[in-house]
Amino acid sequence: MFQQKTYIERRKVLKEKVGSGLILLFGNDESSMNYTDNTYHFRQDSTFLYYFGIQHPGLTAIIDIDNDRDIIFGNDYTIDDIVWMGLQPTIRERAEKCGVKNVQPANKLADYLKETKQSVHFLPLYRPGNKIKLHELIGILHKEVATKFSVELVKAVVSQREFKSDEEIIEINKAVNISVDMHVAAIKFAKPGMTEAQVTAEIHKIAIAAGGNISFPIIATINGQTLHNHYHGNTIKEGDLFLIDAGYESPMCYAGDLSSTIPVGKKFSPEQKEIYQLTLDSHQAAVDALQLGQPFKNAHVAAAKTIFEGMKSLGFTKGTTDNAFEAGAHALFFPCGTGHMMGLDVHDMEDLGEVWVGYDGQPKSTQFGLKSLRLAKPLQPGHVFTIEPGIYFIPELIDLWHSQNKFNDFINWEKVNSYRDFGGIRNEEDFVMTENGAKLLGKSKPKTVEEVEALR
């Protein structure tokens, strides 16, 4: 945890921003896998962590703005719990660490809410258990949560969490450094004849040995054209491309998020090298477009246009790049966004809504490809985000658009078809915006053709 004063200050600012009423913040409970006591790895809710720092299940907090009161509701372990789980700090001891003196048993929360006439602010909820609790406490049905959450509260939380403090940047840097270690280990380890699962285990091992865990399920696949491919059953062989997307989550729950693509053999083939170099060029174009006060969308436009232009010189595309981008033709190869915010969540605050986190409340595009851009708004000091353009040959998308005669003016279908089994390539790095421009977080990850091949 950070020092007590960090959490006290964060709650004070939150109260000022929201102004009046009562904020109801749910921590997470244990989540069962296949029977009650066999639970998934416990992960605290990130907003609860941000304001209270306590990594313990079964807690709910009230931040009563009108009465300037912070209360944590939760039950201490009984002797039965202690027999199975060992002695644990009391809720009061945990609460003290974040500067909360008022601690009450869980069943007092309903009384508190019954007695109040204050308006209750709550966030969009993603765990069914918390939606049930909300219903029991204040009668909001689970299907009403998405429309009745407090936009004021969401905006206030985003306006704090989006700006990472110096102490948070230190944590994120550590998380990215371990993430680099995970990637370097995998790049050195992967050999023809291994399964994807063996490489995945090597990556996960580094995260666990560092004392934390992974920030999202590891992607380690020869089918990198599937953007979030979590299947690890293939045997990797000479000639394959192998895409790794993996990050570390530190003990304080700050994320790293990196991607690498490597040849399973010792060297990229000439065709792989050409496309790989183009992804690096688009990556650099995105980085070059990062400017203080300017929209992150500029980085996406730069990456997408670089990909389309480069694909033209390789014979895959044709026509005017600007027109192709406007029409969305680049999305055949790059159907996702260039990056997203990162912090306590790997896609930071995605539960609060991308429109608030990445677009300052402005509507997102509905165009295929652009609609998957999670961050578009102007960059300010303290914003932490990823850069991760990629080139993907997705046979199903190629077949669909070709059969629809879509983008015939922009795509050379015969050439594209000849690469339909190529796979996908992505590199990903993490950055923080500063007064002096964007700065790479963590140590540098091997990325150039020469750097990657040297480790194979």
Q: Give the interface with Mn ion as residue ranges (CB under 5 A).
A: 257, 386
Q: How many residues bind ligand GLY (CB under 6 A)?
A: 5
Binding track over 243-282 against ligand GLY, x by CB under 6 A: --x-----------x-------------------------
C-beta of 340: minimal distance to ligand GLY in Å? 6
Query: Per rule CB under 6 A, is residue 216 in the interface with ligand GLY?
Result: yes
Q: Least Å distance between CB 155 and ligand GLY? A: 24
Query: Which is nearer to ligand GLY, 106 or 440 (by Cβ)?
Result: 440
SS3 20: coil
For the CB of residue 108, give the shortest distance to ligand GLY in the complex, in Å: 40
CA–CA gap between residue 96 and residue 45 (Å, rounded): 19
Q: Helix (H, G, I), strand (E, B), or coil: what is residue 431?
A: strand
In sequence order, the 6+-apart residues with CB closer than 8 A to the CB of 316 are 333, 411, 412, 415, 416, 419
Partner in contact with 2, chosen from ligand GLY, Mn ion, none, beta carbon below 5 to 8 Å by kind = none
Other Cβ atoms within 10 Å of 236 Cβ, number? 23
User: Which 8-state DSSP code applies to residue 144?
Assistant: G
Please say which residue, 171 or 245, places its beta carbon nearer to ligand GLY.
245
Of 183 and 340, nearer to ligand GLY (C-beta) is 340
Question: What residues between 342 and 381 interact with ligand GLY by CB under 6 A?
Answer: 346
How far, in Å, are 163, 164, 249, 347, 349 from residue 343 at the CA level?
Answer: 10, 8, 10, 8, 8
Q: Which is nearer to Mn ion, 257 or 345 (CB)?
A: 257
- What is the SS3 assignment for 34-60? EECCEECCCCCCHHHHHHHCCCCCCCE
| Minimum CB distance to Mn ion, residue 358 (Å) | 13
Binding of ligand GLY by 413 (CB under 6 A): no
Q: At what angle do helices 270-288 and 297-313 cross, to 10 degrees?
A: 150
- Of the candidates 17, 89, 94, the one whose C-alpha atom is nearest the C-alpha of residue 61 is 94
Picking from 37, 26, 99, 100, the residue whose alpha carbon sits closest to that of residue 59 is 26
Measured from the CB atom, the residue of 202 and 249 that comes closer to ligand GLY is: 249
Nearer to ligand GLY, 245 or 354 (CB): 245
End-to-end CA distance of the chain: 39
What is the smallest separation between the CB atom of 230 and ligand GLY, expressed in angstroms?
11
Shortest CB 183 distance to ligand GLY, Å: 12
Return all residues near 188 (Cβ < 8 A) that are at least 6 apart: 455, 456
- Tell the smallest beta-carbon distance from residue 242 to Mn ion (Å): 18
112 touches, from ligand GLY, Mn ion, none (C-beta below 5 to 8 Å by class): none
Element (H, E) at 449: helix 449-454
Beta carbon nearer to ligand GLY, 248 or 410 = 248
Which positions from 293 through 332 interact with ligand GLY, judged by CB under 6 A?
none
Q: Position 174: which residue type? A: K
Q: From the list Mn ion, ligand GLY, none, which binds 216 (C-beta under 5 to 8 Å, kind-based)?
A: ligand GLY
> Which residues are at the interface with ligand GLY (CB under 6 A)?
216, 245, 257, 340, 346
